[in-house]
Structure 1
Amino acid sequence: MATIRTRKLASGKVSYTAQIRVKREGAQVYQESQTFARKQAAQAWVRKREAELDQPGAIDRANRTGATVKEMIERYMVEMGKARAMGKTKLATLKAISESYLGQVNDQDLNCQVLVEYAVWRMGPEGGGVLPQTAGNDLAHLGAVLSIARPAWGYEVDPNAMGDARKVLRKLGYNMRSRERDRRPTLDELDRLLEYFQSIQDRRPTSINMLKMTAFALFSTRRQEEITRIKWADLDAEGSRVLVRDMKNPGQKIGNDVWCHLPSEALAILQSMPKTVDVIFPYSAESTSASWTRACKFLGIIDLHFHDLRHEGVSRLFEMDWDIPRVASVSGHRDWNSMRRYTHLRGRGDAYANWKWLDIVVKAPVKLGALTLK
């Protein structure tokens, strides 16, 4: 049953409040009201809502409290954390989204328009003035949450909202795709970094052995998270290969265990580590990243990430005239399109053929701290 009440405002204008009440077996099970400036608009809304509420299950859906984006994100982080720790970038991005105004939006209200407005807001001064690629990363990480929110937890999420939002943003001229990074360390930068890390080891022998971590990342092309997960049981020294567990892959992150070939330099560094604990490099990825960042800042090395060592390693193998399948056997890439992002050639030959640091790194002593040995 619907009623429309007329109310005269202090300004002299008239407003019309339409109210819908639904009763079942004498008990009111639902009510809703909305105010309009025109009576015709109120009448049209009543007809539309009564037709919608007359559909099977409509009352139950209307009474549903729902969940906010923040609640969905928090549940996602808990559930995903049970299987595997998320990367710090993804974790920080999701937390930032949950604390923004978007975090208060209910699941059933999260549509294409809301997502487009959020992306535009992020690129504006109030949202941080980020690049379109950063806003695109926000949507990508949020999309991972929404992709399982409906089928896994029954949240009322529009399955087409994210895809439609991306299409709209492209039509508006925003390039949301991540910029392909082509940064490679120079030999001079690596010399300075390894000298710095060597001095740290001399002063604090039980600190993270960044000499080994850096050189192994370069020659093995492994990501820092992968390096810190490798166990001695994962090493096939005779076959010059290592089992990389949960290798990063867009379609499969958990249980994606891949055997990767170890170039001789990488194998030598790996075998130089002490066999006192199960993990070969018993350091955390976060601590490794922090050590790298501090070193670059101290040395004045601009815009060089630890992950750029992977770029360097893959590009080096191509410069040595390795073919695509052979390089892929080291890097773990499944196709050329994804490998291409890591390939930025400078010339031909092995720039590290007579690199003084390889012998120094292999022979460098390793002393694990008490906390590491636990």
Structure 2
Amino acid sequence: MATITKTQSGTYKVLIRKTGIPIQIKTFKSKSNAEKWARLIESEIDRGVFVCRQEADRTTVGELIDRYIQEVTPLKRSAKKDKQRMLYLKRHFGHFIVSQLQSKHIAAYRDKRLAEGRQGATIIKEIVSISHLLDISIKDWGIPLIGNVAKLVRKPQQAKGRDRRLIDDEEQILLQAARNSKSFLLAPLIILALETAMRLGELLSLEWNNIDMKRQTALLPMTKNGETRIVPLSKKAIETLSSIPRQLNDARVFWTWQQSDSFEKAWSRMLKQTNIQNLRFHDLRHEACSRFFERGFNIMETAHISGHKTLQQLKRYTHLKAEDIVAKMNAG
């Protein structure tokens, strides 16, 4: 069934013919490797488990990434970031024939990124992206790979989640600096963040027609996890929204910022006017969730407001003050 011939260049070409199966041809530098491969393919054919790998043997990872960017990336909410990540991965893995990509190659990439000082969370996202690419290739595109080698790679540890909370009079200082800034919607945005635990992207995309002042709710049609969420609004949140002037040609509440990066510039300028250190806007979501627990909200109530899907996710943002717990333990 298999014939092995030596070529003029000194390599060994294996040719396998079997009725009902495409002709299998592969070239090796050594005769022993050629014989080993021939025995493997013949064994798979005899056992009825043979899968033609020719497409995997002639397709590069770069070609798969190009197709992924065209067909899969546009369906994602973070399409822009996903495309940037996939193009970066293409520079490192694009030259590999997909059937020759091994877990050791991805592990070496992981170690290189760690040595460069990249955060574990960033590298995990990159490994997950490679894994998803291979999954799609196998399941949807019919690329005959034996398995997903990215799933064999040990992921790096993530940095400990931030537990930054507002202390002393930082909230007052923050709001005063916001009111003194040129961005007149900055203070209302901060208040809404503390009252609702909304993410920055959710706040910047919040529209007036999704706010029900009577029922005191805000509808978020599309959140980070891809689901719709209805956020209850406190009295203070309603009062803050009522004080915000509406823009006739923009349905958004916080219309002065088109994207999160433009807001971040305003945030950085404002913080420079204070003595507050190491505070990110996302820390306000952390602060809001912690306050919900301190006010007696249970896990389900807090998760309903914040949109966290698991307790583990919620724990990253929720750090109760030990002294408050002691006071509660000693109450009565």
Whether 1:86 and 2:78 are equivalent positions in the alignment is yes
Decide whether the 8 Å contact of 1:6 with 1:17 is kept in 2.
yes
TM-superposed CA distance for 1:32, in Å, is 3.0
* Change over 3 Å in CA distance of 1:154–1:30 after alignment to 2: closer
TM-score normalised according to structure 1 size? 0.69
* Change over 3 Å in CA distance of 1:212–1:146 after alignment to 2: farther
For residues 160 and 330 of structure 1, what CA distance do their matches in structure 2 show?
A: 37
For residues 63 and 148 of structure 1, what CA distance do their matches in structure 2 show?
A: 15
1:305 corresponds in structure 2 to 280
* Change over 3 Å in CA distance of 1:244–1:324 after alignment to 2: same
For residues 81 and 159 of structure 1, what CA distance do their matches in structure 2 show?
A: 22
TM-superposed CA distance for 1:316, in Å, is 1.3
Kindly provide the CA deviation profile for residues 256-289 of structure 1, in whole angstroms up to 9, marking residues without a partner as x.
1121211222222223233333222223223223
Whether 1:345 and 2:320 are equivalent positions in the alignment is yes
2:101 partner amino acid: L
* Change over 3 Å in CA distance of 1:149–1:189 after alignment to 2: farther
Q: What does 1:199-214 align with in structure 2 at a 5 Å threshold?
A: 199-201=180-182, 207=183, 209-214=185-190
Decide whether the 8 Å contact of 1:69 with 1:105 is kept in 2.
yes
Whether 1:148 and 2:136 are equivalent positions in the alignment is yes
TM-superposed CA distance for 1:73, in Å, is 3.9
For residues 95 and 168 of structure 2, what CA distance do their matches in structure 1 show?
A: 49
1:19 corresponds in structure 2 to 13
Whether 1:180 and 2:161 are equivalent positions in the alignment is yes
* Change over 3 Å in CA distance of 1:57–1:326 after alignment to 2: closer
SS in structure 1 of the partner of residue 28 of structure 2 = strand
Decide whether the 8 Å contact of 1:68 with 1:106 is kept in 2.
yes
Whether 1:115 and 2:111 are equivalent positions in the alignment is no
Whether 1:333 and 2:304 are equivalent positions in the alignment is no
2:251 partner amino acid: D
Percentage identity across paired residues of the two chains: 26
SS in structure 1 of the partner of residue 165 of structure 2 = coil
Q: 5+ residue gaps in structure 2?
A: 326-332
1:164 corresponds, among 136, 152, 162, to: 152
2:53 corresponds, among 56, 61, 78, to: 61
1:35 corresponds in structure 2 to 29
Decide whether the 8 Å contact of 2:220 with 2:228 is kept in 1.
yes
Kindly provide the CA deviation profile for residues 262-321 of structure 1, in whole angstroms up to 9, marking residues without a partner as x.
122222222323333322222322322343245446757544322111001111121222
2:260 partner amino acid: A
Decide whether the 8 Å contact of 1:320 with 1:348 is kept in 2.
no
For residues 154 and 41 of structure 1, what CA distance do their matches in structure 2 show?
A: 27
For residues 266 and 312 of structure 1, what CA distance do their matches in structure 2 show?
A: 16
2:329 corresponds in structure 1 to none
TM-superposed CA distance for 1:97, in Å, is 2.2
Whether 1:265 and 2:241 are equivalent positions in the alignment is no
Decide whether the 8 Å contact of 2:56 with 2:143 is kept in 1.
no
For residues 79 and 41 of structure 1, what CA distance do their matches in structure 2 show?
A: 38
Decide whether the 8 Å contact of 2:210 with 2:218 is kept in 1.
yes
TM-score normalised according to structure 2 size? 0.76
For residues 229 and 39 of structure 2, what CA distance do their matches in structure 1 show?
A: 59
Decide whether the 8 Å contact of 2:207 with 2:251 is kept in 1.
yes
Decide whether the 8 Å contact of 2:120 with 2:157 is kept in 1.
yes
* Change over 3 Å in CA distance of 1:81–1:115 after alignment to 2: closer
For residues 67 and 273 of structure 2, what CA distance do their matches in structure 1 show?
A: 39
Whether 1:103 and 2:94 are equivalent positions in the alignment is yes
1:319 corresponds in structure 2 to 294
61-70 or 105-114: which moved more? Answer: 61-70
For residues 300 and 51 of structure 2, what CA distance do their matches in structure 1 show?
A: 58
For the aligned residue pairs, the C-alpha RMSD in angstroms reads 3.7
Decide whether the 8 Å contact of 1:19 with 1:34 is kept in 2.
yes
For residues 103 and 200 of structure 1, what CA distance do their matches in structure 2 show?
A: 47
Decide whether the 8 Å contact of 2:56 with 2:97 is kept in 1.
no
For residues 217 and 324 of structure 1, what CA distance do their matches in structure 2 show?
A: 19
For residues 132 and 166 of structure 2, what CA distance do their matches in structure 1 show?
A: 32
Decide whether the 8 Å contact of 1:80 with 1:86 is kept in 2.
no
Kindly provide the CA deviation profile for residues 68-93 of structure 1, in whole angstroms up to 9, marking residues without a partner as x.
44444444444455445407765544
Q: 5+ residue gaps in structure 1?
A: 8-15, 170-174, 202-206, 350-374
2:109 partner amino acid: Y
SS in structure 2 of the partner of residue 150 of structure 1 = helix
Aligned residues: 316
* Change over 3 Å in CA distance of 1:61–1:103 after alignment to 2: same
For residues 302 and 293 of structure 2, what CA distance do their matches in structure 1 show?
A: 7
TM-superposed CA distance for 1:200, in Å, is 3.0
For residues 165 and 333 of structure 1, what CA distance do their matches in structure 2 show?
A: 28
Decide whether the 8 Å contact of 1:110 with 1:158 is kept in 2.
no
Decide whether the 8 Å contact of 2:197 with 2:288 is kept in 1.
yes
* Change over 3 Å in CA distance of 1:195–1:181 after alignment to 2: same
